[in-house]
Structure formats: C-alpha cells, structure tokens
Amino acid sequence: MNTDTSPRPRMTRQRREILDALDTRDFRSAQSWHEHLRADGSTVGLATVYRALQALADTGDVDAVVSESGETLYRRCEAGEEHHHHLRCRSCGKAVEIDVPEFEDFAHRIGDAHGYGDIRHTIELTGICPECAAAGRG
C-alpha cells in the first residue's frame, strides 16, 4: 500500500521566492513575510504566501507558533530536527532554538498523573534580544 497521498508540489517562481525568503530564519507572520517579499521586488500574492507557509508547516519544514496577539508566526526549521522550542525576540523576531529535554518527560508524567492522554506541549520563551535592547527598542 502507498501511504504517500500527496504529490510533491511544483516548483514555481513564487514557491522559490518564499523558500528563499525563509532563509533569514526569523519568526514572522504570513503578512510580514509577504511584505518582505514585495519589498524585495516579488509580486507574489498574499494568499499564496499563506498557502505555502501552511503547506510547509504541515510537512514540518517550518515551525508555526501563535503569538499573544493571535497571529501565527512562521519560521523555517533546521532540516531533520524533531521537536524543539524557541527563545524569540518580541521586538525583532530573531529566535534561537533551545532544547528542553527535561521537559519532554515531565509533560508526560504530569499527563499520566491526571489521566490525560495524547499529551502535547508548547513552550514559548520570549524576551528582548541584545541588539534590540541596545537600540532601545522593546
């Protein structure tokens, strides 16, 4: 049996541009990535950016986190990485990946203790990065 139901996407100009933009590895909303692309001369449409980011999030090629304001932020993740978390700058979006191995176990122990199954967890660390602090932002 074939479990691969989805054909690989076609490599269009738009997809290439989006993939390129993601190389900066910042956390940005779809709208912000779109502006970024247009500022660089791309003519890509907003809906296309949304679609591409969602598709990439589905395949695990980008991380998606929901900010306090309810916007979804996207960032390309390291190839092949499994589960990880981030320390993100609230001012400029720059992020570093962090590892919280202790927590993976902890989450399951807590779940078990309360009888909850299919445990998922989100850890979001935010702060103001050195550059932004120096610039007086945030």
Report the interface residues with a second copy, using CB under 8 A.
Answer: 66-68, 70-72, 87, 89-90, 96, 98, 100, 102-103, 106-107, 110-111, 114-130, 133, 138
Picked from a second copy, DNA, none, the partner binding residue 31 (CB below 5 to 8 A depending on kind) is DNA
Give whichever of 70 and 115 is closer to DNA, judged by the CB atom. 70
Spatial CB neighbours of 18, under 8 Å, sequence gap ≥ 6: 33, 37, 44, 48, 49, 52, 53
Spatial CB neighbours of 60, under 8 Å, sequence gap ≥ 6: 77
Minimal distance, residue 134 CB to a second copy, in Å? 10
Structural contact between residues 30 and 74, judged by C-beta atoms closer than 8 angstroms: yes
Minimal distance, residue 124 CB to DNA, in Å? 15
